[in-house]
Structure 1
Amino acid sequence: MIVVGAGGAGLSAAATAAENGASVLAIEKQGIPGGTTSLSGGVMQAAGAGSDPTTQAQVRQYLELSTKAAKLLNRFLA
């Protein structure tokens, strides 16, 4: 699988695909991985998350996938 863009979404997709047995190549046009996500300053927009259980579950899933993507990236950079 080829993932074009190594930002948050691309790396999350790459991590999920790799966990499911796919051979993955993530490419990024910038000199470093991160895409526009690297410009976010580590802030995730989750307006209205409040006490809505569905939204909270989606935010937790995003954070879990982001963590997996970071671990995957670290393996490739090591």
Structure 2
Amino acid sequence: MTADERMEAIQAVVDRVTSWQDGAPEGTVADELRRGADEVGVEMSDDEIRRLADEIENRHAAVSAAEVLGRSS
């Protein structure tokens, strides 16, 4: 999987989790990011999961995985 394909897969997971996260119990967002990453076959570090989960929980809006993870897509 190329870096671009990996980022596209991560963004798809982020978009899915962001769409329903409002009101989710703490920790659920990170769990769903892990589950989604597993489903699409992308390995993500605990740090990547934490950073994305924090951004999703704090913004309550569209989140760019590339921006949060410091990579261009």
* Shared fold, TM over 0.5: no
Structure 1 or 2: more helix by fraction: 2
Q: Which has the higher strand share?
A: 1
